[in-house]
DNA sequence: GTACTTGCAAAGATTTTGCTTCCAA
DNA sequence: TTGGAAGCAAAATCTTTGCAAGTAC
């Protein structure tokens, strides 16, 4: 009884359309930015990047769009161990769950995938009969470069 | 190379004193509440409970005390998958790391320990040479009782 | 055309800071 | 006694809401 299967890596826009979500100029832009991001974005990042292309885009729209994507389980919300304030970070969901490693010293975020993690999820589902929808693993510590 | 050893289950107050932290009436009370809590507490909970015994205790003191405990790695900060708002929850650190399972439907929080989890941490430390200080695993989904 | 979205402003919620007074060691 | 801590008020952050105007389908 494996974890619920993940959303395929299909453009978020297509995914939304297929779910009957109305596509606006703002949503297209935000979704495009999230999808092509090479780092984890917070609301401010995302808004700033979006305003470069559409200066009228309001921050509230960013919140609302992220809420929409969360509702559809198309993005994951992370805290990255609260390295800085209580800000939340977002990333498009990929095929496989992964673990985030946040370096306390340099702030670098690494991602880590592991079959042990998949096994652990299986164990939880079996032993607790808990149907996992989302899972988040975040580790804080010192990365290889910060152990001198 | 196992994960950094955990703080023993010694009264938080003793732990703080041994670290040279000044113990005030307010800190003693808060620490006592956190330690004896049978659930995950957020700032408001904690404050309300504290005020029953010391009505003058200020909410800011709750924040500051939690900050102190976090700094000393004596409590873990959780989000419990943001089931309700962006509130943070706290729990005294125990000997073993555990996983939190948050039910999307009924809100129940279960804890889960597993040797697989310990193995996973070991793998991260070995393969990425990442020295883990804190690790948090939170799963959201449907608990056994909520799958009808 | 109609229902859903956006922008704007304002409110809410949560957390932090400045400063004076107080207290633990 | 003295540096750190608490209380109070105010500010700073982050997020949500109400509503009029705009827009996707």
Asked whether the predicted pLDDT for residue A118 surpasses 90, the reply is no
Any idea which of A22-31, A133-142, B6-15, B111-120 has the lowest mean pLDDT? B6-15
Of residues B122 and A89, more confidently modeled? B122
B62: left (phi over 0), alpha (psi -120 to 50) or beta: alpha
Residues with pLDDT less than 50, chain B: 1-9
Q: What is the pLDDT of residues A56-82, one digit of tens each?
A: 999 999 999 999 988 888 887 776 655
| CATH assignment at residue B79 | 1.10.10.10
Q: In what order do the strands lie in the sheet with A75-78?
A: A41-42, A89-92, A75-78
Q: What is the pLDDT of residues B23-33, one digit of tens each?
A: 999 999 999 99
- Measure the CA–CA gap between A116 and A126, rounded to whole angstroms: 15
Please give the structure tokens belonging to residue A86.
């209580």
Q: Which domain holds residue B115?
A: 3-147
Q: How many domains does chain B have?
A: 1
**Continuous segment of H or E residues that includes residue A23:** none
Q: What is the pLDDT of residues B70-93, one digit of tens each?
A: 888 788 776 655 555 555 667 655
CB pairs under 8 A between A and B: 115
A43 in reach of chain B (CB within 8 A): no
Radius of gyration of chain A from Cα atoms? 17
Listed by number, the residues of chain B in 61-100 with a beta carbon closer than 8 Å to a beta carbon of chain A are 77, 79, 81-82, 86, 88, 99
Protein residue at shortest CA distance from C1' of C14: B87
How does DSSP assign B44-76, residue by residue? HHHHHHHHHH-TT--HHHHHHHHHHHHHTT-EE
Protein residue at shortest CA distance from C1' of D4: B22
Query: Which residue carries 């619920």 as its tokens?
Result: A4
Nucleotide whose C1' lies closest to the alpha carbon of residue A87: D14
> Which residues in chain A have their CB less than 8 angstroms from residue B144's CB?
128-130
Tell me the CA–C1' distance in angstroms for B109 and C6.
37
- Count the Cβ atoms, other than its own, within 10 Å of residue A76: 20
Residue B1: what pLDDT? 30
């Amino acid at each position: 009884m494996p974890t619920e299967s993940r959303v395929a890596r299909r453009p978020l826009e297509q995914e939304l359309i297929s779910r009957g979500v109305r596509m606006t100029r703002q949503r297209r832009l935000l979704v495009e930015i999230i999808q092509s991001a090479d780092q984890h974005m917070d609301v401010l990042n995302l808004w700033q990047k979006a305003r470069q292309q559409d200066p009228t885009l309001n921050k509230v729209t960013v919140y609302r769009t992220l809420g929409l994507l969360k509702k559809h389980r198309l993005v994951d919300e992370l805290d990255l161990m609260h390295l800085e304030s209580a800000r939340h970070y977002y990333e498009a969901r990929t095929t496989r769950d992964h673990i985030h490693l946040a370096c306390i010293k340099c702030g670098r975020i690494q991602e880590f995938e592991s079959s042990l993690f998949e096994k652990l999820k299986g164990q939880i589902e079996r032993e607790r009969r808990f149907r996992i929808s989302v899972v988040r693993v975040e580790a804080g510590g010192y990365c290889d470069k910060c152990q001198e």
